Amino acid sequence: MARKRIREEEDAAIDMTPMLDIVFIMLIFFIVTTSFVKEAGIDVNKPEASQAQKKPSANIFIAIRANGEVWMDKRMVDVERVGANIERLLAEQPTDIVVIQADEEAKHGVVVEVMDQIKEAGIDKISIAAEDD
């Protein structure tokens, strides 16, 4: 009798394979459905606006410093290369909104050039970030 009990205890192991399959499927699902935000990489002093509105979240941010530097994806970019960089980011993750975070001391001409590059890349919805009062 003692022999039968030992054999039954050895056979009573729990199979972990189905649980691991479910965990891996959930992991793949969350990785595929995650959206990644491409931050500009720097902080700027945005102008204040009394009529600022919250817009839907965007995945691509472009920052323009007071000295005219343009930052995308945590690196400085030439104004002429903004369109090509947006096309690259759109290939990774499509979006229809780009947010420009321009410093309040940034030159208007640089902001307009960046907006032209964004339009050439095929994005029509451009938002300018501002601080609430």
What is the pLDDT at residue 123?
87
What is the pLDDT at residue 27?
92
Give domain limits for the chain. 2-33, 48-132
b/e burial code for range 70-109 (CB count within 10 A of at least 16 → b)? bbbbeeebebeebbebbeebbeeeebeebbbbbbeebeee
Tokens of 4: 């039968």
Say how many C-beta atoms besides its own lie within 10 A of residue 120's C-beta. 13
What global pTM score does this model have? Answer: 0.64
What is the pLDDT at residue 16?
84
Q: What is the CATH number of domain 48-132?
A: 3.30.420.270
The contacts of residue 87 (CB under 8 Å, 6+ apart) are: 121, 122
Which residue do the tokens 């399959």 mark? Answer: 21
Q: Are strands 60-64 and 70-72 parallel, antiparallel or unpaired?
A: antiparallel
Which residue, 12, 108, 117, 20, is CA-closest to 68?
108
Q: What is the pLDDT along the chain (133 residues), one digit of tens a residue?
A: 555 555 555 666 788 888 999 999 999 988 887 766 666 666 676 676 766 667 667 778 899 999 989 998 888 999 899 999 888 888 888 888 888 888 888 888 999 999 999 999 888 888 888 776 5
The contacts of residue 67 (CB under 8 Å, 6+ apart) are: none
What is the pLDDT at residue 89?
86
